[in-house]
């Protein structure tokens, strides 16, 4: 891609001047534990401004933002999570969770009380490195998610800002971070797409997946991950990254953005300015980025530039200490990183959303103070506030007391509403597209192209009966592989035979099986360097389509065409002659 040549060196590229809004410091005596706000009656629909016929999304947004009350303005920049799989009908346990979180019983009541502009759907699994800040789960299956999002939109439509749709987002990265799993098409991980090395396959698969999200009522995906993995192989990012080469990651990120947004779902580049070159986990501490500004320009920023050039509508700020730019300050709270670099030097005009405000680096300040600081730094949406009532009241207090300039808040809300009106113009497909044959085939093509052989003669089929084993009780993936092998005509036995051993996320050297004929990495491939197996393969994912692609290779019906997108000590990127190097 020719445009990537300019992406490699960021300094001096697309410099743009713009007037910067004044930032006022928070008063030292800010209230840290304000009470929950009283119930709020949304403004009637008649209070909404009527923009001129043919007005653009930006014009409609500006007109609406200019007419909103303080409370409605504040609500539009908050995007918490809620307890419950329904907007209005929750279990006693979920009711208690919502009461503790926000002083309400249901998600719909949360939307009404805090005049919320958005909500994130959350969930986690055992392999999920982001599970630390996922307090609940409200994604069970495709039908349930559609009913939930419909109920949330109905609650939001009653607000003064209800002429624009609610933003409903989730972290559907695919691979280890996949919120909605049941009844939908699942893609291989980002690293799997990087191994396949074909942005066209990536774009097609993400277009299919994006169409399904749109059908479910999810209009914002907090993906793709634009982080480039460094030599340390950041474990919290791992296979969530497309790889270690900035140029190759850039082409993959751009493909994912184009695919998602062609389906009417807003893509989010994360975690700006890059989480891959640190071994720290920003869920529990503040990781430091020690590289120079020149190294950032060469090694971390290119995928963000490529994603911006592809039209990404959101960028997520990371809780990262960028020492070359604003040492000691998390990027989420750094005006130098978000306003000067991201907006000024990279020219990003879309919505900036924080990483979870309930993560440790954001909790160094009380929730209200943190909310004001994050908006003043340049964020437009505050994701998962640690304490919703405190964040809400803190923003109101900052607005009325002068710590949060009104112009900054109106600017943020105008960007949010512009995005909403743009998304409202999209036509979502019907539920019949969810899990369709065409979508599954797009995912399968990407997964098959990802399978990589790092040791052993390329193209050799297994001989004799096969036994499949797995570390860490990964019975689901093991079962999928057994079924796929049998469908391919391979005899599978429960003992004896040729052993194919699966390892996944978080598995250490002790989970390798000595003497296994084949060891397969279903996450990052680094562990393969410690295996004694004569044949080493990587799928980078444990999804059903990835196991089907693996089975085709093991049965000799397909060649492992992938190439490891990260270096593995002592091993080539591929042991297949056509892919070696």
Whether the Cβ atoms of residue 195 and residue 89 lie closer than 8 Å to each other? no
Domain harbouring 256, CATH code:
3.20.20.300
What is the pLDDT, as a whole number, of residue 473?
A: 79
Q: Are residues 346 and 270 in the same domain?
A: yes
Q: Which residue has the higher pLDDT, 280 or 72?
A: 72
Q: Is residue 22 domain-resident?
A: no
Q: d(Cα 392, Cα 440) in Å, to the nearest integer?
A: 42
Q: d(Cα 451, Cα 185) in Å, to the nearest integer?
A: 19
Q: Are residues 288 and 333 in the same domain?
A: yes
- Bridge partners (DSSP) listed for residue 266: 220
What is the pLDDT, as a whole number, of residue 132?
A: 57
Q: Are residues 261 and 339 in the same domain?
A: yes
H-run or E-run covering 149: helix 142-156
450: its two tokens: 């990802």
Calculate the CA dihedral of residues 443, 445, 446, 451 and round it to 10 degrees.
Answer: 120
Which residue of the set 281, 355, 507, 523 is catalytic?
355
- Domain boundary among the residues 398, 429, 460 is at 429
What is the mean pLDDT of the segment spanning 31-38? Answer: 42
Strand, coil or helix: 543:
coil
pLDDT in tens, 153-168: 999 999 999 999 999 9
pLDDT in tens, 195-247: 999 999 999 999 999 999 999 999 999 999 999 998 766 778 999 999 999 99
Q: Are residues 407 and 491 in the same domain?
A: no
**Is it the case that residue 19 has pLDDT exceeding 60?**
no
In eight-state DSSP terms, residue 496 is S
34: its two tokens: 């304000």
Q: d(Cα 76, Cα 66) in Å, to the nearest integer?
A: 13
Kindly report which listed range (139-143, 277-281, 379-383) carries the lowest average pLDDT score: 277-281
Please classify residue 19 by burial: count the beta carbons closer than 10 Å to its beta carbon, then call 0-12 exposed, 13-18 middle and 19+ buried.
exposed
Phi, psi for residue 137 in degrees, rounded to 5: -140, 135
What is the pLDDT, as a whole number, of residue 285?
A: 64
Kindly report which listed range (88-102, 199-213, 458-472) carries the lowest average pLDDT score: 458-472
**Is it the case that residue 99 has pLDDT exceeding 80?**
yes
**Is it the case that residue 135 has pLDDT exceeding 70?**
no
Cβ atoms within 10 Å, residue 143: 13
pLDDT band at 365 (very low <50, low <70, confident <90, very high): very high
pLDDT in tens, 45-76: 445 666 766 899 999 999 999 999 999 999 99
What is the pLDDT, as a whole number, of residue 42?
A: 43
Which residue of the set 277, 283, 319, 501 is catalytic?
283
What is the mean pLDDT of the segment spanning 245-252? Answer: 98
Q: Which residue has the higher pLDDT, 445 or 463?
A: 445
**Is it the case that residue 124 has pLDDT exceeding 70?**
no
- Chain mean position to CA 345: 24
Q: Are residues 542 and 463 in the same domain?
A: yes
H-run or E-run covering 503: strand 498-503
Kindly report which listed range (19-33, 123-137, 251-265, 436-450) carries the lowest average pLDDT score: 19-33
Q: d(Cα 122, Cα 102) in Å, to the nearest integer?
A: 16
Q: Is 319 a catalytic residue?
A: no
pLDDT over 70 percentage in the chain: 86
Question: What are the distances in angstroms from CA 323 to CA 291, 296, 374?
Answer: 8, 11, 18
What is the pLDDT, as a whole number, of residue 463?
A: 81
Q: Is residue 42 domain-resident?
A: no
Q: d(Cα 327, Cα 397) in Å, to the nearest integer?
A: 29
Q: Are residues 94 and 237 in the same domain?
A: yes
Q: Which domain holds residue 328?
A: 70-429
Q: Is residue 1 domain-resident?
A: no
Q: d(Cα 306, Cα 3) in Å, to the nearest integer?
A: 8
Q: Is residue 438 domain-resident?
A: no
**Is it the case that residue 23 has pLDDT exceeding 80?**
no
- Side-chain-side CA neighbours of 224 within 13 Å: the count stands at 42
What is the mean pLDDT of the segment spanning 488-507? Answer: 94
Q: Which residue has the higher pLDDT, 565 or 276?
A: 565
Q: d(Cα 167, Cα 265) in Å, to the nearest integer?
A: 10
- Bridge partners (DSSP) listed for residue 502: 470, 520
Q: Is residue 57 domain-resident?
A: no
Q: Of 558, 544, 546, which is closest to residue 450 (Cα–Cα)? A: 546
**Is it the case that residue 134 has pLDDT exceeding 70?**
no
Q: Are residues 298 and 167 in the same domain?
A: yes
What is the pLDDT, as a whole number, of residue 48?
A: 65
**Is it the case that residue 401 has pLDDT exceeding 70?**
yes
Q: Are residues 291 and 386 in the same domain?
A: yes
What is the pLDDT, as a whole number, of residue 14?
A: 38
What is the pLDDT, as a whole number, of residue 38?
A: 44
What is the mean pLDDT of the segment spanning 503-512? Answer: 91
Q: Is residue 44 domain-resident?
A: no
Domain harbouring 559, CATH code:
3.40.50
Strands 118-121 and 167-170: parallel
What is the pLDDT, as a whole number, of residue 130?
A: 60
Q: Is residue 130 domain-resident?
A: yes
- Bridge partners (DSSP) listed for residue 321: 288, 330
Q: d(Cα 15, Cα 341) in Å, to the nearest integer?
A: 9
Give 50's contacts (C-beta < 8 A, 6+ positions apart): none
What is the pLDDT, as a whole number, of residue 232?
A: 64
Whether the Cβ atoms of residue 167 and residue 416 lie closer than 8 Å to each other? yes
Q: Are residues 100 and 146 in the same domain?
A: yes
Q: d(Cα 433, Cα 142) in Å, to the nearest integer?
A: 11
What is the pLDDT, as a whole number, of residue 12?
A: 40
Q: Are residues 245 and 371 in the same domain?
A: yes
Give 310's contacts (C-beta < 8 A, 6+ positions apart): 253, 254, 255, 257, 258
Q: Is residue 24 domain-resident?
A: no
What is the pLDDT, as a whole number, of residue 420?
A: 98
DSSP tally for the chain: helices H, then strands E: 18, 15
Calculate the CA dihedral of residues 181, 187, 189, 192 and round it to 10 degrees.
Answer: 160
Q: Are residues 342 and 479 in the same domain?
A: no
Whether the Cβ atoms of residue 152 and residue 111 lie closer than 8 Å to each other? yes
pLDDT in tens, 180-197: 999 999 999 999 999 999
Q: Is the bond leading into 273 cis (omega within 30 degrees of zero)? A: yes
What is the pLDDT, as a whole number, of residue 131?
A: 55
**Is it the case that residue 22 has pLDDT exceeding 70?**
no
What is the pLDDT, as a whole number, of residue 126?
A: 56
Q: Are residues 398 and 464 in the same domain?
A: no
pLDDT in tens, 520-562: 999 999 999 999 999 999 999 999 999 999 999 999 999 999 9
Count of structural domains, the chain: 2
Q: Is 355 a catalytic residue?
A: yes
H-run or E-run covering 482: helix 475-487
Whether the Cβ atoms of residue 294 and residue 302 lie closer than 8 Å to each other? no
The chain-wide mean pLDDT, for the chain, equals 88
pLDDT band at 1 (very low <50, low <70, confident <90, very high): very low
Question: What are the distances in angstroms from CA 397 to CA 112, 370, 385, 406?
Answer: 20, 13, 16, 12
């Amino acid at each position: 891609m020719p445009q990537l040549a300019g992406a490699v060196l960021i300094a001096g590229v697309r410099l743009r001047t713009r007037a910067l809004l004044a930032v006022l410091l928070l008063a030292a005596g800010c209230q840290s534990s304000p009470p929950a706000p009283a119930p709020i009656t949304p403004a009637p629909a008649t209070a909404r401004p009527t923009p001129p016929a043919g007005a653009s999304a930006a014009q409609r947004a500006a007109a609406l933002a200019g007419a909103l009350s303080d409370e409605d303005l504040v609500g539009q920049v908050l995007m918490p999570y809620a307890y419950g799989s329904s907007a209005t009908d929750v279990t006693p346990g979920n009711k208690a969770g919502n009461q503790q979180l926000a002083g309400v019983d249901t998600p719909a009541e949360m939307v009404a009380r805090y005049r919320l502009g958005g909500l994130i759907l959350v969930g986690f699994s055992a392999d999920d490195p982001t599970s630390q800040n996922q307090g609940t789960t409200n994604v069970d299956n495709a039908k349930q998610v559609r009913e939930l999002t419909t109920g949330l939109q109905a609650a939001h439509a009653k607000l003064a800002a209800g002429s624009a749709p609610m933003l409903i987002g989730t972290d559907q990265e695919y691979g280890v971070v996949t919120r909605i799993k049941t009844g939908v098409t699942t893609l291989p991980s980002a690293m799997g797409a990087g191994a396949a090395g074909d942005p066209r396959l990536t774009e097609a698969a993400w277009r299919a997946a994006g169409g399904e999200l749109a059908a479910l009522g999810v209009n914002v995906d907090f993906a793709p991950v634009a982080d480039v993995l460094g030599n340390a192989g950041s474990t919290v990012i791992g296979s969530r990254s497309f790889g270690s080469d900035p140029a190759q990651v850039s082409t993959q990120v751009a493909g994912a953005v184009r695919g998602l947004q062609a389906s009417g779902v807003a893509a989010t580049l994360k975690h700006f300015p890059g989480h891959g070159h640190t071994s720290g986990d920003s869920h529990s501490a503040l990781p430091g980025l020690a590289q120079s500004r020149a190294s950032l320009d060469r090694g971390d920023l290119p995928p963000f530039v490529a994603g911006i050039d592809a039209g990404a509508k959101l960028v997520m700020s990371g809780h990262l200490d960028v020492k070359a730019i604003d040492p000691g300050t998390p990027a989420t709270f750094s005006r130098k990183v978000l306003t000067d670099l991201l907006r000024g030097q990279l020219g990003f005009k879309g919505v900036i959303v924080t990483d979870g405000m309930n993560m440790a680096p954001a909790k160094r300040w009380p929730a209200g103070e943190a909310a004001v600081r994050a908006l003043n730094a340049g964020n437009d949406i505050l994701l998962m506030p640690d304490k919703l009532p405190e964040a809400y009241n803190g923003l109101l207090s900052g607005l009325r007391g002068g710590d949060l300039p009104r112009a900054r808040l109106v600017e943020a809300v105008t960007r949010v509403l512009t995005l909403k009106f743009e998304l409202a113009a999209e036509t979502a497909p019907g539920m019949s597209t969810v899990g369709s044959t065409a979508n599954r085939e797009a995912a399968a093509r990407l997964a098959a192209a990802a399978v990589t052989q790092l040791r052993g003669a390329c193209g050799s089929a297994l001989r004799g009966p096969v036994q499949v084993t797995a570390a860490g009780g990964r019975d689901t993936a093991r079962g999928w592989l057994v079924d796929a092998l049998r469908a391919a005509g391979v005899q599978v036995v429960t003992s004896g035979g040729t052993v194919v051993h699966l390892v996944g996320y978080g598995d250490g050297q002790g989970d390798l099986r000595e003497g296994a004929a084949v060891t397969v990495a279903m996450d990052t491939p680094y562990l393969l360097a410690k295996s004694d197996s004569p044949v080493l393969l990587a799928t980078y994912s444990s999804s059903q389509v990835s196991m089907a692609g693996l089975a085709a290779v093991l049965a000799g019906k397909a060649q492992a065409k992938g190439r490891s997108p990260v270096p593995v000590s002592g091993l080539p990127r591929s042991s297949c002659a056509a892919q070696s190097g």
